[in-house]
Amino acid sequence: MRKFSENYVVQFYETAHPRHAEELAIKALNDDCDFMISVGGDGTLHEVVNGFLKSGGRKKFKTVLGVLPYGTGNDFARGLGVTRNIDQLSEMISLNRPAILDAGCMEFQQPDGSVKICYFDNIADLGIGADVVVQVNGVHLRKKILGGTLTFFLSVMITFLTFKPKKVRVSWEGFTWEGSVLSLVVANGRFFGSGLGVAPDAKQDDGLFEVVIFADLSVLDYLKNFARVRKCLRVMHPEAHYYRAKEILVEPIGNIAIVESDGEIAGQAPVLYKCLPAAMPFLIP
């Protein structure tokens, strides 16, 4: 890191266990860092963003966030055009012209009546995507043997063979939708699942989510449209619905519905999603 140490005081915070990056992000803020760079994948950045927002970072805007994408998916960085090129990172820091991006907030009702809150920078979803995350996160030994990309592919195949649609009620001001879903996506960014452009019209600075409902689609329908999703194009099917909203309530109907955000299991529906406009200053090319 000689490129940076010549002009900056560099402090490394190394994670040692899950959720540690969230704790370290809070520590870095308390240490009055000017730039907080997440080195890793979407999961690491998810924890850093949670630490930043839970500690009130968005109210200060003294610290600027950034990412050096060294994970498997790197979907948030992909949507911003950020690469793992050190020269690009150095230039972004030197110019220090961050974009002010939105973030998402998720509120879950707990059995004791309390409310759990967590944040996401990219995408949260319910349905087949969340079930894939359950598969991926449950095969640590397989990850070590096969690697992240192959493990993700195999987990997708297993989930496709066993998935049962989730029945939910989706509502926001002036709108209600109810039915079975293959996937329900609340998107701040465009990409998830290692490069799948599930939300082609999502913008990270407009104060709104893109809400994507793949309703009564079969897994075969999804696979037929997979090339369009990979190219970040809308799925052309009568059961594929695209909306824009700022606050969304999702309630399960008769079954358990796991919710994930940024590739991490967050909880179970019912869940209230809120878009937080202009929540984080972020380095972009």
- Residues 237 and 47: their CA atoms lie apart, in Å, by 35
Answer yes or no: are the C-beta atoms of 20 and 50 closer than 8 Å.
no
For 66, phi then psi, to 5°, come to -160, 170
What is the model's pLDDT at position 164? 82
Radius of gyration of the chain (CA): 19
Neighbours of 5 (CB within 10 A): 9
Position 84, amino acid:
R
What is the model's pLDDT at position 134? 65
Whether the link from the prior residue into 270 is cis, omega within 30° of 0, is yes
- Residues 121 and 101: their CA atoms lie apart, in Å, by 9
How much of the chain is in helix, strand and coil states, percent to nearest 5?
Answer: 30, 35, 35
Please tell me the number of Cα atoms within 13 Å of 70 on its side-chain side: 8
- Domains belonging to the chain, first-starting first, are 2-103 (3.40.50.10330), 105-277 (2.60.200.40)
What is the model's pLDDT at position 61? 72
Tens place of pLDDT per residue across the chain (285 aa): 667 777 889 999 999 998 899 999 999 998 989 999 999 999 999 999 999 999 876 556 789 999 999 987 799 999 999 999 999 999 999 999 999 999 999 999 776 778 899 999 999 999 887 877 666 655 444 444 444 455 555 666 666 667 788 899 999 999 999 999 999 999 999 998 888 899 999 999 999 999 999 998 887 888 888 889 989 999 999 999 999 999 999 999 988 888 999 988 888 899 999 999 999 999 999
What is the model's pLDDT at position 139? 47
The interaxial angle of helices 128-137 and 148-162, nearest 10 deg, is: 130
Position 64, amino acid:
V
Three-class DSSP category at 58: helix
What is the model's pLDDT at position 154? 62
What is the model's pLDDT at position 237? 93
